[in-house]
Amino acid sequence: MQYQTIDSPPYPISDVVTWSFFIGRYHLYQGDYPNAVTLLSQAFSRCPTKYVRNKQTILMYLLPVYAMIGTYPKRELLERYKLMEFYEILGGVRKGNYQQYQDGMDKFERALDRGVYLPLRRLTTVLFRNLFKKTALIIGASQSPPVPHPAKISIAALETALRVSGYPTNVEETECIVTNLVATKKIRAYISHEHQVLVLAKTDAFPSLRPKP
């Protein structure tokens, strides 16, 4: 379903904010992140500054959506709206550090109450993508001469990266994770099952998470 924005006149601003918030949440739960970010951003920007609690609530849903498209909040924003629980969680996602992410999730008691637990859990796909991108950069830099990323990465190397980041896994699960990232176009590559390697595209192997206009 395509999103639809509404302007303030002739509607009260409270109705505009409420409508944008709930329809934005609907798109979030449907996994439609471009529409969710548009509507939730509209709700946040149009919510009057004096309603700090309401803006805090909107942000709790908006922050996971932004992370899904590779955008992360500044610490000052989280401090202002008393949402520092997100700092550790989203920091782990951005850095591809599963242990940091999981530690943050374990401390975030409000996640279940506010219904943001599932959206935050979905961020593991972005975390794994970021981790594998970092792995590719490290391997590429170690080659002689250095390259932006290697042509191939073994599944075993990606399994090691997951374990180092704090995610307990095995070769089979690692291959499933990689397959999902390729299928959702977070990585441009294919898996050679015979040789147990991920063959990366020559260019733009890790495309931007932000949707194209």
Domain ranges of the chain: 13-122, 125-200
C-alpha 95/C-alpha 130 separation (Å) is 7
| Residue 131: band (very low, low, confident or very high) from pLDDT cuts 50, 70, 90 | very high
| Residue 7: band (very low, low, confident or very high) from pLDDT cuts 50, 70, 90 | low
pLDDT value at position 2? 41
| Residue 213: band (very low, low, confident or very high) from pLDDT cuts 50, 70, 90 | low
Cα dist from 172 to 159, 169, 207, whole Å: 9, 8, 25
Phi, psi of 83 (to 5 degrees): -125, 40
61-94 tens-digit pLDDT: 999 999 999 999 999 999 999 999 999 999 999 9
Please compute, for residue 44, the number of CA atoms within 13 A of its CA located in the half-sphere on the CB side.
20
Residue with tokens 């609690």: 53
Q: 125-200: which CATH architecture?
A: Orthogonal Bundle (1.10)
Number of H helices, E strands in the chain: 11, 3
Residues 6+ apart with CB under 8 A from 7: 16
Residues 6+ apart with CB under 8 A from 177: 128, 158, 162, 169
40-57 tens-digit pLDDT: 999 999 999 999 999 999
| Residue 10: band (very low, low, confident or very high) from pLDDT cuts 50, 70, 90 | low
By C-alpha distance, which of 80, 96, 95, 44 is closest to 65? 44
Residue type, 43: A
Residue 94 near residue 71, CB atoms below 8 Å: no
Residue 205 near residue 136, CB atoms below 8 Å: yes
pLDDT value at position 1? 39
Pick the residue with more confidence: 205 or 149?
205
Residues 6+ apart with CB under 8 A from 107: 85, 88
Task: Say whether pLDDT at 3 is over 50.
Answer: no
144-181 tens-digit pLDDT: 888 888 899 999 999 999 999 999 999 999 999 999 99
Provide, rounded to the nearest whole percent, the portion of the chain with pLDDT above 70. Answer: 94
Rg of the chain, C-alpha, whole Å:
19
Q: Report the chain's terminal Cα–Cα distance, integer Å.
A: 17
pLDDT value at position 143? 85
Pick the residue with more confidence: 61 or 109?
61
C-alpha 159/C-alpha 132 separation (Å) is 10
